[in-house]
Amino acid sequence: MTFRILAVSLLLGASLAQAPVPAHAAQAQATPAAEAMPAPDKPLTAADLEGMREELRSSRKQIIAATLTLSDAEATRFWPVYDRYAAERTKIKDDQYALVADYVNKYGQYDDKGAMDFIGRWLDQDTRLAALRSKYVPIVGKTLPGVKAATFFQIDRRLSMAIDLKLASMLPILQTQTPAK
């Protein structure tokens, strides 16, 4: 089972690596931080984000189905709950992807106030997602035995962290922006 998770994660990572990324590297100042965290070289478009999201939604469910071993009775109880969870999660992620699109569009124009607003909104997304997981722990716990319920959330969290890391790495570091003239 561990090999399966690794293989699917590598495939997911490889597919995400193909996604275009924001182009502001040429404008970035050559600083140690910029060199340690190289800026992406292509703009990330709304179409890119939506295509990535569609692929991720499908891949996420497939990875969970391939990794979480369920009896027929457990699957019958779990998947409708998962679908509700996924729908609520999508609403939160809609806001996060809108925030990413806003970041890409405003990159190079951020001042201190705008930067603090951005990070506050980003942290709000994290808080909302954690609250959603907390809400669903007892719900999933009623549909699956404890070990399987915890396994679901473990898989879900690992996937989220991998996706969030990839998305974050696609965005240039704010401090490296060249202010608009």
Asked whether the beta carbons of 50 and 94 are under 8 A apart, the reply is: no
DSSP states along 111-127: -HHHHHHHHHHHHHHHH
| Higher pLDDT among residues 25 and 50, named by residue | 50
Q: Does pTM top 0.85 for this prediction? A: no
What token pair was written down for 23?
């182009």
Instruction: Give 146-174 pLDDT, tens digit per residue.
Output: 999 999 999 999 998 888 888 777 788 88
State the residue for tokens 């669903």.
Answer: 136
pLDDT score of 73 more than 70: yes
What is the gyration radius of the CA atoms in the chain, in angstroms? Answer: 18
In degrees and rounded to multiples of 5, residue 41 shows phi and psi of: -115, 5
Which is nearest to 178 in space by CA: 100, 109, 105, 103? 109
Mean pLDDT (the chain) is 77
